[in-house]
Amino acid sequence: MLTDGPSRPGKIIAVHLNYASRAAQRGRTPSQPSYFLKPASSLGATGGTVERPLGTELLAFEGEVALVVGTAARWVSPQDGWSHVAAVTAANDFGLYDLRTADKGSNLRSKGGDGFTPLGPRLIPAADVDPAGLRVRTWVNGALVQEGTTDTLLFDLGRLVADLSQHLTLEPGDVVLTGTPAGSSVVVPGDVVEVEVDAPGAPGAPSSGRLVTTVTEGTTPFGDFGARPSADEAQRAEAYGTPPPAATPSFELTDAHRARFAAVAVATLSAALRRRGYHDVFVEGVHADRPGARFVGTARTLRLVPHRPDLFARHGGGFNAQKRVFDTVRPGEVVVIDARGERGTGTVGDVLALRAKVRGAAAIVTDGGVRDADAVAEVGIPVFSQGPHPSVLGRRHVPWETDVTIACGGAAVQPGDVVVGDGDGVVVIPPGLVEEVLAEAERAEAEDAWVAEQVAAGASVDGLFPMDARWRERYEQQAEGR
């Protein structure tokens, strides 16, 4: 409960999805906010406990900024919405994924359990802070696992108040939970979860203090007269925060594709793309960290923005976008980093390169620099960059967002694009062009190999390279004979 505010709100309203980082993790971005109600009996206290019911496994935390309504709001505008908020504080929107299917969106059983909504411990007056300058952080057993700022919300705080006020009256003391950033995951009995909301840029950097909750194991089984807990791999993936596949649903980069790509050169693929009007799909200025490196995979993207102290303070620490992409990359994916061509600092180092390799990533491509270059090369994962630089990321960059369309070395890259690299560099192939570009590249490679055989046997390149009608006829005859 709160130490300096109402202890029993009339209603608790929660937003389903509101942080861009969480939307990217879920693989969907809503056009409008959606909500669910939590009962007042779900309130919990700082320093208290939350019970994982007996027979369940998927209790997940969600650190959030909670709004406490100060004055009644009905039919207010987005511009006036914030004026009806008295204070903000920390909240933990616990949920039980084992019961998620029981109520199909209302979340009554999965989110409404006793103690599933701890708040506090202190209120931050709304008048003292910028609604876009709040930060929420979550720790599990002392390790920072979530960090988000309200300037990255899909729907700002005033808009949420206004939208809700179109449908019902928000009354003094009501609480609105405003969504959780990426990083939510499963906790088990014995874990200690802490959530803090603060305003780093406001005078005095006001804070809610740490909202501390310890997870305990339940002892009473569910009866056989209602929905029983159940969990499948899809629910486990969502509960643990596993991102959806990055590739487009209509295309899968198969083992057969990978084998075919291994037999064709980037230069050949680039020529095939140019013939289709794709002139800017080559990642300019990057080269492999060791001779002979080559790869093929689907893109997983990371965008860095220019360094700015206030932005780095909010986005640079904790489980930031850079760490998230390396910690969630899937086997066969390529981490592609938009560093704006800035080579004056590192954008990846040995620890993150090792994490990518352990998770099965195919390669790392950045149009920035690489730190710990010798150690990165020893890790063994193909890394293509503008070269080594000893400085840390924060010298020039702020890790901003993942799984969005980026520019890397002048090439547009979307999540799920096919990325191929060898000694000539890196090329990006839209999934819809893979089959025809591969087929043409294979034909071109076969022709080039035949031409090389003729040159090796003493033939002049005049008329042979490229082939004139006479040589073309000879080639096709021999090709048909084979």
Determine the pLDDT at residue 354: 96
Mean pLDDT (whole number) for 393-422: 94
Determine the pLDDT at residue 246: 45
pTM: 0.56
Share of residues in the chain with pLDDT > 70 (%): 96
Q: Do 338 and 414 contact (CB within 8 A), yes or no?
A: no
Share of residues in the chain with pLDDT > 90 (%): 74
| 33-42, 91-100, 102-111, 288-297: least confidently modelled range | 102-111
Q: Which residue type sits at 62?
A: E
d(CA 339, CA 303): 7
Per DSSP, the residues of 371-388 read SSHHHHHHH-S-EEES-B
Task: Pull the structure tokens for residue 454.
Answer: 């003729």
> Residue 25 — very low, low, confident or very high, per pLDDT cuts 50/70/90?
confident
Report DSSP state, residue 353.
Answer: H
For residue 177, give the 3-state DSSP assignment: strand
Q: What angle do helix axes 266-274 and 434-456 make, rounded to 10 degrees?
A: 120
> Residue 7 — very low, low, confident or very high, per pLDDT cuts 50/70/90?
low
Task: Pull the structure tokens for residue 449.
Answer: 């190999």
Q: Do 75 and 165 contact (CB within 8 A), yes or no?
A: yes
Mean pLDDT score of the chain, rounded to an integer?
91
Determine the pLDDT at residue 250: 59
d(CA 238, CA 481): 55
Task: Name the residue with higher pLDDT: 468 or 242.
Answer: 468
Determine the pLDDT at residue 317: 80
> Residue 416 — very low, low, confident or very high, per pLDDT cuts 50/70/90?
very high
Range among 20-29, 45-54, 60-69 rated most confident: 60-69
> Residue 448 — very low, low, confident or very high, per pLDDT cuts 50/70/90?
confident
4 pLDDT more than 90: no
Rg (CA), the chain: 27
pLDDT 10s digits, 169-190: 999 999 999 999 999 999 999 9
Determine the pLDDT at residue 5: 45
Mean pLDDT (whole number) for 415-436: 95
For residue 213, give the 3-state DSSP assignment: strand
Helices and strands (DSSP H and E) totals, the chain: 14, 27
Mean pLDDT (whole number) for 139-167: 94
> For 216, how many CA atoms within 13 A lie in the half-sphere containing its CB?
12
Q: Please classify residue 280 by burial: count the beta carbons closer than 10 Å to its beta carbon, then call 0-12 exposed, 13-18 middle and 19+ buried.
A: middle
> Residue 481 — very low, low, confident or very high, per pLDDT cuts 50/70/90?
low
Determine the pLDDT at residue 379: 95
Q: Which domains does the chain have, with CATH numbers?
A: 12-240 (3.90.850.10), 256-435 (3.50.30.40)
